[in-house]
């Protein structure tokens, strides 16, 4: 197709584009290597199939924003296919006798897909242009009070305009070129849209059509060759890094599992993250993978209640910093600017509830929550800087082994008058009940503990508790950044539990469950841990627990605790239990893994909530009230405290009860 001169120009353009891309790619790779930790190649083999499915179906994008996600999918599917189309077009241009199986079924299907997906890309891109530049959707930006670097505020819009123009010109030129070829050769049933458009050129001469094909070829191929080096600096690099992120992200038992710090190694001078290179290598990959879609911001409880935290701007600020300072990092130098000076503010890191909503919703597998917790670690361990209110909780865990600062001698007061066996009285139980600090010390949570005793005793379960030997798991210390305190608590608890060697552990607190199940293996503690709602459902299914459903029961709604549903995928059992004792179950708008936080996680329980327009718990309570339910069922003592307080402020008759309390009532009435 091309003249000899054009072929030479094409080869030179490909070489120039590849050379520029190589320089940019090398810098990116070296920058990622500056991050902490080591990459495990073994996980690639295990994940390859699932990552291919995710990449092809784009399933992670369809969790919210269904219509925009569909338009985005049209663009993505077309763009993926165009990886083949551009190669074929280039080969056909260079070699006049090269025809990509033109007369075969394979070639015909190739032409059909190229035709359909070209139109799909143009439709999807047009919709996205209208959404961003005409409608100016609020979902694609952030509030002025949130830290977003000036170059990012201007750059995102500019970058989007550049990429939109490129895609429309690249795909549009290629599609018009195909229609010109159809006009010259005759209608093609395998290119229906190109055949339709070819009617526009019905009066053109053969020479004019050939010239048009050359022009559109160079517009299509030229734009892609120009775009490739720019692509590596733009947010659209997520096309490559999204599947990479899913493929190589370190294995975790739960999205909330944090890495263990080695305090015994005296050569380690930095704990937590002060500068970008202090983050894990995968957290640097996150910045390159970020699509800048603000979905994480859309579900963030802190942002939604007016706080200055946006997990999206954290990743965006990281990315623009890498674009400007990546060369410095790639050379092995320390980045000049600390994270708290460009990526996120101190107020924002202490507004995070560590709920994991940002991680769950991210369509490219980013984990901004982990960055925040690593920055907290550095603030506490390196700078000794943290909210004053946390000092009380820290002191309580240090001196009395619980954040409520209740002496261990009083840890069994909640069980007075009840038949609750301790490990000393029953040293070989089938089930160890890890009561947790809240049920043992908080007056409201104690009611849940007493109700659970009734359930266990009514079911004839062989169980025991640690009693005064039990202490805090350290969840709040770890989420607050006090990793040294968590290390001490975890080490002591693992020693106790390994000596007891319980076949199973049950807990009424999702935070205890998460820590025992997902965090303690790093300390040598591997246990089978279940939530009390799972155990109750198991007892009901086995016929060991008999309840009398209340047919006249009023509406009940269930609040999924973040560390139960989203972080540990325990969604079905609580609902199965509720449906057996309270058949009229109604769901809130945000439910399951998209549940909204109560506001207590991330050590928020022990400090004043950061300034905003609304308390997180008030937002969630309003959603519960809107269901028209009479009972709000919970499965977490922290959620119980926060939502009970929110109930008082909301002046509602909605009753907040733990599932154990609801079940215990049905045993009594039965």
- Count of residues in the chain: 670
**Pairwise CA distance, residues 265 & 650, whole Å:** 51
Q: Is the pLDDT of residue 476 over 80?
A: yes
* Per-residue 3-state assignment (H helix, E strand, C coil) for 488-505: HHHHHHHHHHHHHCCCCE
Give 670's pLDDT tier (boundaries 50, 70, 90).
very low
Give pLDDT, residue 551.
65
Q: What is the DSSP letter of 568?
A: T
Residues with Cβ within 8 Å of residue 71, at least 6 apart in sequence? 123, 124, 127, 128, 131
For 655, the enclosing helix (H) or strand (E) is strand 655-658
Mean pLDDT over each residue of the chain, to the nearest integer: 94
Residues 638-659: b if buried by 16+ CB within 10 A, e if exposed:
bbbbbbbbbbeebebebbbbbb
Q: Which of 643, 652, 657 has its CA nearest to residue 600?
A: 643
- Tokens 């439709």, located at residue: 123
Give pLDDT, residue 668.
57
Report whether 550 contacts 497 (CB < 8 A): no
More confident of the two residues 327 and 280: 280
Residue-wise pLDDT for 291-343, tens only, equals: 999 999 999 999 999 999 999 999 999 999 999 988 899 999 999 899 999 99
Residue-wise pLDDT for 613-669, tens only, equals: 999 999 999 999 999 999 999 999 999 999 999 999 898 999 999 999 999 999 854
Residue-wise pLDDT for 423-456, tens only, equals: 999 999 999 999 999 999 999 999 999 999 999 9
Please report the sign of the dihedral spanned by the C-alpha atoms of residue 142, residue 254, residue 491, residue 42.
negative
Q: What is the DSSP letter of 646?
A: H
**Pairwise CA distance, residues 352 & 271, whole Å:** 20
- Beta strand 631-634 with 556-558 is parallel
More confident of the two residues 670 and 379: 379
Give 552's pLDDT tier (boundaries 50, 70, 90).
low
Task: Enumerate the β-bridge partners of residue 557.
Answer: 632
Q: Is the pLDDT of residue 132 over 60?
A: yes
Q: Cα angle vertex 121, ends 120, 123, to 5°?
A: 65
Q: What average pLDDT does this structure show over 358-363?
A: 97
Q: 124 burial class (0-12, 13-18, 19+ CB within 10 angstroms)?
A: buried
Write the class of the CATH domain 276-381: mainly alpha
* 42, HSE (Cβ side, Cα atoms, 13 Å): 3
Residue-wise pLDDT for 521-541, tens only, equals: 999 999 999 999 999 999 999
Instruction: List the single range of 224-228, 284-288, 315-319 with lowest mean pLDDT.
Output: 224-228
More confident of the two residues 669 and 549: 549
Phi, psi of 658, deg, nearest 5: -75, 150
**Pairwise CA distance, residues 482 & 505, whole Å:** 26
**Pairwise CA distance, residues 79 & 124, whole Å:** 11
**Pairwise CA distance, residues 104 & 654, whole Å:** 68
Residues 80-91: b if buried by 16+ CB within 10 A, e if exposed:
ebbeebbebbbe
**Pairwise CA distance, residues 395 & 535, whole Å:** 34
Give pLDDT, residue 115.
97
Give 49's pLDDT tier (boundaries 50, 70, 90).
very high
**Pairwise CA distance, residues 94 & 2, whole Å:** 6
Residue-wise pLDDT for 2-33, tens only, equals: 888 998 999 999 999 999 999 999 999 999 99
Q: 399 burial class (0-12, 13-18, 19+ CB within 10 angstroms)?
A: exposed
Give pLDDT, residue 550.
73
Report whether 663 contacts 455 (CB < 8 A): yes
Report whether 31 contacts 330 (CB < 8 A): yes
Q: What average pLDDT does this structure show over 564-571?
A: 97
Q: What average pLDDT does this structure show over 558-566?
A: 97
Q: Cα angle vertex 381, ends 345, 327, to 5°?
A: 55
**Pairwise CA distance, residues 102 & 110, whole Å:** 9
Q: Is 618 left (phi over 0), alpha (psi -120 to 50) or beta?
A: alpha
Give the domain ranges of the chain: 4-33+64-141+151-231, 276-381, 391-669
Residues with Cβ within 8 Å of residue 286, at least 6 apart in sequence? 245, 315, 318, 365, 366, 367, 368, 371
Residue spans of alpha helices (H) in 527-595: 532-541, 572-581
**Pairwise CA distance, residues 536 & 116, whole Å:** 53
Q: Is the pLDDT of residue 36 over 50?
A: yes
422 three-class SS: strand
Cα torsion through 489, 495, 498, 504, rounded to 10: -20
Q: What is the DSSP letter of 436?
A: -
For 432, the enclosing helix (H) or strand (E) is strand 431-434
Distances in whole angstroms, Cα of residue 453 to Cα of each of 266, 397, 421, 457: 47, 26, 10, 6
Residue-wise pLDDT for 55-79, tens only, equals: 999 999 999 999 999 999 999 999 9
Q: Which of 547, 634, 610, 626 has its CA nearest to residue 582?
A: 547
Distances in whole angstroms, Cα of residue 630 to Cα of each of 205, 269, 300, 461, 638: 77, 54, 27, 32, 20
């Amino acid at each position: 197709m091309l003249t000899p001169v054009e072929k030479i120009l094409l080869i030179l353009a490909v070489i120039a584009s590849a050379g520029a891309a190589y320089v940019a790619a090398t810098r990116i790779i070296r920058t990622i290597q500056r991050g902490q930790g080591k990459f495990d190649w073994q996980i690639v083999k295990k994940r390859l199939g699932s990552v291919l499915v995710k990449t092809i179906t784009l399933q992670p994008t369809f969790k919210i924003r269904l219509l925009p996600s569909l338009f985005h999918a049209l663009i993505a599917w077309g763009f993926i296919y165009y990886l083949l189309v551009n190669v074929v077009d280039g080969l056909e241009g260079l070699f006049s006798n090269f025809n990509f199986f033109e007369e075969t079924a394979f070639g015909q299907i190739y032409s059909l897909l190229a035709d359909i997906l070209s139109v799909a890309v143009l439709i999807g891109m047009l919709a996205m242009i209208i959404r961003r530049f005409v409608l100016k959707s609020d979902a694609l930006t952030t509030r002025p009070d949130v830290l977003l670097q000036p170059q990012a505020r201007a750059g995102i819009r500019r970058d989007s305009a550049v990429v939109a123009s490129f895609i429309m010109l690249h795909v549009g030129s290629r599609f018009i070129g195909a229609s010109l070829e159809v006009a010259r050769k005759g209608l093609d049933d395998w290119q229906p849209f190109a055949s339709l458009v070819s009617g526009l050129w019905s009066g053109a001469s053969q020479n004019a059509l050939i010239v048009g094909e050359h022009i559109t070829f160079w517009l299509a191929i030229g734009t892609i060759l120009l775009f490739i080096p720019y692509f590596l600096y733009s947010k659209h690099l997520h096309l490559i890094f999204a599947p990479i992120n899913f493929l190589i992200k370190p294995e975790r038992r739960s999205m909330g599992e944090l890495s263990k710090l080695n305090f015994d190694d005296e050569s380690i001078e930095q704990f937590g993250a002060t500068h970008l290179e202090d983050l894990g290598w995968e957290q640097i990959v996150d910045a390159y993978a970020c699509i800048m879609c603000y979905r994480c911001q859309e579900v963030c409880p802190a942002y939604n209640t007016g706080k200055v935290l946006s997990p999206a701007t954290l990743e965006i600020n990281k990315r623009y910093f890498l674009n400007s300072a990546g060369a410095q990092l790639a050379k092995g130098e320390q980045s000049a600017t600390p994270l708290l000076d460009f990526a996120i503010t101190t107020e924002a890191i202490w507004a995070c509830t560590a709920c994991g909503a940002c991680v769950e919703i991210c369509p490219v597998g980013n984990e901004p929550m982990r960055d925040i917790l690593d920055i907290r670690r550095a603030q506490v361990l390196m700078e000794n800087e943290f909210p004053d209110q946390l000092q009380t909780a820290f002191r309580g865990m240090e001196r009395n082994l619980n954040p409520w600062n209740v002496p261990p001698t009083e840890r069994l007061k909640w069980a007075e008058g009840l038949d609750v066996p301790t490990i000393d009285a029953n040293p070989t139980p089938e089930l160890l009940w890890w009561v947790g600090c809240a049920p043992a010390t908080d007056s409201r949570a104690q009611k849940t503990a007493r109700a659970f005793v009734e359930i266990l005793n009514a079911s004839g379960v062989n169980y025991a508790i640690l009693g005064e030997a039990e202490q805090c798991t350290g969840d709040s210390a770890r989420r607050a950044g006090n990793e040294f305190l968590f290390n001490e608590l975890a080490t002591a608890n693992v020693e106790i539990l390994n000596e007891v060697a319980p076949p199973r552990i049950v807990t009424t607190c999702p935070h205890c469950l998460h820590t025992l199940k997902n965090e303690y293996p790093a300390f040598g503690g591997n246990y089978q841990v279940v939530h009390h709602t799972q155990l109750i459902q198991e007892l009901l299914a086995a016929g060991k627990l008999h309840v009398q459903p209340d047919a006249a029961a009023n509406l009940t709604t269930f609040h999924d605790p973040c560390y139960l549903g989203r972080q540990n995928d325990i969604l079905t059992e609580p609902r199965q239990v509720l449906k057996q004792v309270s058949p009229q179950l109604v769901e809130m708008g945000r439910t399951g893994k998209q549940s909204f936080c109560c506001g207590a996680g991330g050590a928020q329980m022990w400090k004043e909530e950061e300034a905003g327009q609304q308390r997180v718990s008030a937002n969630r309570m309003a959603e519960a009230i809107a269901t028209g339910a009479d009972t709000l069922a919970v499965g977490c003592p922290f959620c119980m405290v926060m939502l009970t307080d929110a109930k008082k402020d909301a002046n509602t008759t909605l009753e907040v009860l733990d599932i154990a309390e609801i079940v215990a009532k049905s045993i009594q009435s039965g």
